[in-house]
Amino acid sequence: MSLLALGLNHQTAPIGVRERIAFTSECLLPALHDLRARGGAHEAAILSTCNRTELYCHLRDNDGQQVVEWLAEYHLLHGIDLRPYLYQHTDQRAVRHLLRVASGLDSLVLGEPQILGQVKAAYQAANSAGTLGALLERLFQHTFAVAKQVRTDTRIGASPVSVAFAAVGLAKQIFADLPRRTALLIGAGDTIELVARHLHENALGRLIVANRTLERAHELVAPFNGYAIALDDIPAHLGEADMVITATASPGLLLEAPLVRRCLKQRRHGPMFMVDLAVPRDIDPTVAELDDVYLYTVDDLKDIIQENLRSRQAAAAQAEDIIDSQVEHFMAWLRTQDSAASIRALRQRAEMLRDEALARAQRQLAQGKDPAEVLSVLAHTLTNKLIHAPCAGLRTAAAEGDAETLALLRNLYRLHDGTPRP
């Protein structure tokens, strides 16, 4: 039995690779079922965000290579092409990795809070798919508690640093007159909502939000006095936008180069600032080749984000100490589960031997044999059967000079110089 965390993230893979193995919300449930059926996972959960795709699995009979092959095949890739970008953590390291991820310590933006919600969504999807068992259930519940402790006991989330914050900060560098500018935000998730809030706080002139569900777009823009449109209405409004920021879960491109080119003509080649925070990407990468367009992806925000991380470094060190302690706490629980299984097996074996000896004694009593003699034989037989395995182990260890096993058996059975301890 082993615990596996397998995946790639913004540190190990460029966006072109990450978007190829991303899982949409629609395909998560069938993917989880397939991972358990063909990937060798007894339990499974999938975390897929713009910055990472990770599989958390409880394995019984393999070392994780089957999971690697499954991930590649599921996305119509070759394992050999994918492996250079993958990291693989097992058991204690897997536990540590998930705790760090959920606490924001492995994020592009150190300490960002959105990742915890994304981990919870991954847990809920696996729960709905029925691919969680006792091990992953306990691990995720422990993870949520630890992430809450990190937020409560440190100041890792005190500074307003996020991908959304970085995107708005870049927009302020390009446009010094935000109150005179129009922003088109595409999507209506947590990231876009945070972008809208930062833009509103910086006195943006006009806000337009486009979303697949128009009702959700209306809900998002209401606090900011914005304007909601459907995705199909984007071509009619794109030319109005000085800045476009996207973060959807769309499987395909939403803004292609010909459309952007037409809008630039409408704008008389006024500059257009664009940030694509989605994986897979929402904006055609060739848009960057157009004059008067400044196109950035999540990978381009790294330098900006680094400037805003200094206040979180001390808090991160505190968080790492908390995680160190909590990793050991979980591993202690896991070890008790291993011992519990062994104890159950030992008890079952002892009860089987008892039942066999008792049945034999009952047959002898039914045949009219002396009860005292039957009881004596019962006690002798049961004692011999119960101590046979440890005695054989002691003899083998002694013959092989295995001092460690000898010491273990002596300690386990509380022996001292051959005399049982009370």
- Contact predicate 243/184, CB 8 Å: yes
- Contact predicate 364/371, CB 8 Å: no
Question: Which pair of structure tokens corresponds to residue 261?
Answer: 């080119």
Could you tell me the maximum CA-CA distance found in the chain, to the nearest angstrom?
112
Residue 388's alpha-carbon distances to 274, 303, 411, 419, in angstroms, are: 75, 67, 17, 17
134 CB-contact burial (10 Å; exposed 0-12 / middle 13-18 / buried 19+): exposed
Residue 39's alpha-carbon distances to 57, 74, 89, 106, 187, in angstroms, are: 10, 10, 17, 26, 33
Give 26's DSSP letter: G
Residue 50 annotated among the catalytic residues of the structure? yes
**What is the separation of C-alpha 336 from the centre of its chain, rounded to a whole number of angstroms?**
24
The amino acid sitting at 252 is G
Please identify which of the residues 27, 50, 263, 391 carries the catalytic annotation.
50
Calpha distance 364→373 (Å, rounded): 10
Dihedral of CA atoms 379, 383, 384, 388 in degrees, nearest 10, equals 160
- Contact predicate 418/391, CB 8 Å: no
Kind of pairing, strands 52-59 and 2-9? Answer: antiparallel
Active site residues: 50
